[in-house]
Structure 1
Amino acid sequence: MKASGRNIDVFIEGNFPDNRMVGGKYAIDSDSITIYTEEIKKQCKLIFSSLARFEDYLKIVFAHELGHAQDKELEKLINKRKNAKNSYEKDQLSLKIEQNAWDYAKSILPFMDDAFFNKIVDVSLEAYRNKISRTAS
């Protein structure tokens, strides 16, 4: 948080309430971040078969959520997504929102192992990219 220069409310919870494997959530209306530690553990084990780098994984997820908070385009992109003409446009905007947050996370975690960081990003964005690919064809 220090790297972002922001003072934002952060909440730590165990599981995401919607039965999805969501590690963190930025709430634009309250300008707050909630981190779901049990979901991050599940993701870490699923992707890396271990919790050995759980703390690094958590830092990356938190930096990603800070990325949403710092995104000057976020509100505009959300509004465009709400008014999207079709699912393809909506999916592209969702991907842009996520990519912006990942780009910010990378900028404040330059010391993080690239292979580790990029694997998390690739897995995170895979569903968005697949959805766009399916709707484009």
Structure 2
Amino acid sequence: MKKSVLNRLVSELIRRSGSGVSVKLESHFPGGRLIGGKYGMETHAVTMYTEVIKQQCLQVFGSLDAVYDYFAVVLAHELGHAADQHLAALCDRLDAAMDERTRTEILLQIEENAWNHAMPWLLDVDPAFTDMIVEQSLAPYREELAPVIA
């Protein structure tokens, strides 16, 4: 991925979001997990992991044809966390949660909030492409919360 294209995407999405967040690019998430981006509430900063973004794009779509759109969608999601005025309170509730179901419900709310903020900033990304990424990211929480049918 060309750094100049990534920098342009970062600048445009920050402008659209109105955020004062800082964004840095790194190649891999520490610890080897496949995390494409991370928002740090304490630092009000987003880190995007470019090699992981490429891996995720390949896994989901089978090619890198849409890697810049994939990057933009993940970045918008992380900026969505930064824009969430309820994030700190949700994190406090998460820390106090007494059971796994409650934790999963709160985590789902955190993720849904970020996506809800992000959607208006993705003006030039195919909505079906974005929806596929959103659904995939929320699926583990929704599956865990789905009622067990005997």
Scaled by the length of structure 1, what TM-score is found?
A: 0.94
Name the aligned partner's letter for residue 45 of structure 1: L
| Partner residue of 1:130 out of 129, 143, 150 | 143
How far apart, in 2, do the equivalents of 1:10 and 1:113 lie?
Answer: 24
| Equivalent residue for 1:12, pick from 22, 25, 47 | 25
The equivalent residue for 1:65 is 78
Within 5 A, what are the aligned runs for 1:74-113?
A: 74-113=87-126
Aligned to 1:56: 69
Using the size of structure 2 for normalisation, the TM-score is 0.86
2: CA distance, partners of 1:17 / 1:127: 22
| RMSD (Å) for aligned C-alpha atoms | 1.1
Post-superposition shift, 1:117? Answer: 0.3
Question: Structure 1 stretches (4+) deviating beyond 3 angstroms?
Answer: none
Alpha-carbon distance, 1:132 to partner: 2.0
Distance 1:70 1:25 in 2: 14
Corresponding residue to 2:34 among 6, 10, 21: 21
Match of 1:40 among 38, 48, 53: 53
- Find the aligned partners of 1:18 and 1:121 in 2 and give their Cα distance: 24
Q: Which runs of 5+ in 2 are unaligned?
A: 1-13
Which residue identity is paired with 1:71?
D
Aligned residues: 135
Distance apart, 1:128 and its partner CA: 1.4
How far apart are 1:23 and its partner, in Å?
0.5
Structure 1 residue runs of 5 or longer lacking an equivalent are none
1:117 pairs, out of 127, 130, 140, with 130
Superposed CA offset, 1:46-68 (max 9, x none): 01001000001101111000000
